[in-house]
Structure 1
Amino acid sequence: MTLAFVTVLSAPAAAEDMRLMVLGDSLTAGYNLPQDKAFPVQLEQALRARDYPVTVLNAGISGDTTAGGRARLDWVLAEEPDAAIVALGANDGLRGLDPEQTRENLTAIVRRLKSQEIQVLIAGMLAPPNLGREYGEAFNAVFPEVAERTAVLLYPFFLKGVAADPTLNQADGLHPTADGVAVMVETILPKVEELLHKVDPCGCSWD
Structure 2
Amino acid sequence: MRTFAWILLGAGIAMAVPAQAADETANGPAKIVVLGDSLSSGLGLPAAAAFPAQLEKSLKDKGLNVTIGNAGVSGDTASGGLDRLDWSVPTGTQGVILELGANDALRGIDPKVTRAALEDILKRLKARHVAVLLCGMVAPPNYGAEYAAQFNAIFPDLAKKYDVPLYPFFLDKVAANTRLNQADGMHPTAAGVAIIVEHILPTVEAFVRAIREQKG
- The two structures share one fold, judged by TM-score above 0.5: yes
Counterpart position of 1:41? 53
Distance 2:141 2:56 in 1: 32
Where in structure 2 are the equivalents of 1:27-38 lying within 5 Å?
Answer: 27-38=39-50
Residue type of the partner of 1:25?
D
CA RMSD of aligned residues (A): 1.8
Secondary structure of 2:178's aligned partner: coil
Distance 1:77 1:14 in 2: 24
Distance 1:123 1:116 in 2: 20
- Cα 1:144/1:202, change in 2 over 3 Å: closer
Q: Which of these residues, 105, 110, 118, is aligned with residue 106 of structure 1? A: 118
Counterpart position of 2:78? 66
Distance 1:27 1:79 in 2: 24
Higher helix share: 2
Count of matched residue pairs? 193
> TM-score normalised to the size of structure 1?
0.89
Counterpart position of 2:93? 81
Q: Which of these residues, 191, 195, 201, is aligned with residue 213 of structure 2? A: 201
**Percent of residue pairs identical:** 51
Secondary structure of 1:23's aligned partner: strand
Matched, 1:97 2:109: yes
Unaligned segments of structure 2, at least 5 residues: 2-24
Where in structure 2 are the equivalents of 1:44-193 lying within 5 Å?
Answer: 44-193=56-205
Counterpart position of 1:17? 29
- Measured against aligned partners, the alpha-carbon deviations of 1:122-164 in whole angstroms (never above 9, x if no partner) come to 0000011222211111110000001111111100000000011
- Cα 1:194/1:146, change in 2 over 3 Å: same
- Cα 1:88/1:14, change in 2 over 3 Å: farther
Offset of 1:79 from its aligned partner?
4.8
> TM-score normalised to the size of structure 2?
0.85
Indicate conservation of the 8 Å contact 2:30/2:212, yes or no: no
Q: Which has the higher contact order (CA 8 A, sep 6+)?
A: 2
Indicate conservation of the 8 Å contact 1:121/1:152, yes or no: yes
Unaligned segments of structure 1, at least 5 residues: 2-12
Residue type of the partner of 2:45?
L
Offset of 1:77 from its aligned partner?
2.7
Residue type of the partner of 1:150?
Y
Counterpart position of 2:19? none
Offset of 1:74 from its aligned partner?
1.2
Of structures 1 and 2, the larger Rg is shown by 2
Distance 1:201 1:16 in 2: 13
